[in-house]
Amino acid sequence: MATFAYGRVSTKEQTADNQKMEIEAAGHVVDYWYADTISGKTSASERPEFAALLAQIRNGETLVVAKLDRLGRDAQDVGATVKLLATRKIAVIVLQLGKLDLTSPAGKMMMTMLAAVAEMERDLLVERTQAGLARAKSEGKTLGRPSKTTAEQRADIITKYEEGESVSALARLHEVSRASILGIVKAVQS
């Protein structure tokens, strides 16, 4: 039976070579290596190299990844992928978890616990972000992207628009996008 290994990086500046070396250093003889350069937020089924791996791997073979987040950052996607592989009796080994097979009963329990912890971490991050935004707002800080136009430019845009100047002409004049001009004009009209 063959051993497949999968690596994933998020940007073209990165390489999955370290993941392959880590898997081989753990004693796995990799017969087939697949690696995607794609965001972890992209579901496993939409990753071209992972899809090719799934098409080639046979029932009863082994898939090895260095870390759980290489399969995806979304617990539901990772869970669905592991369940699909389990139905085909494909062992899923994650080195980060001490060579634990996620398709085994202990592996399923560990994955459930990790998914719960990851979800809690995401919720806490959102909570901290909201608290930080509320604090900044209460301190009078302006949130969001800075305006591309000054107050005088916005007044000029409104005046000229009301006099019949076109949105495109105003955008060229102030060197901003048409969307910026429309946002300024619509804010006054509402």
Q: Which of 10, 104, 166, 168 is catalytic?
A: 10
* Residue 10 annotated among the catalytic residues of the structure: yes
SS (H, E, C) 131-175: HHHHHHHHCCCCCCCCCCCCHHHHHHHHHHHHCCCCHHHHHHHHC
Give the residue among 105, 51, 42 at the shortest CA–CA distance from 78.
Answer: 42
**Could you list the active site residues?**
10
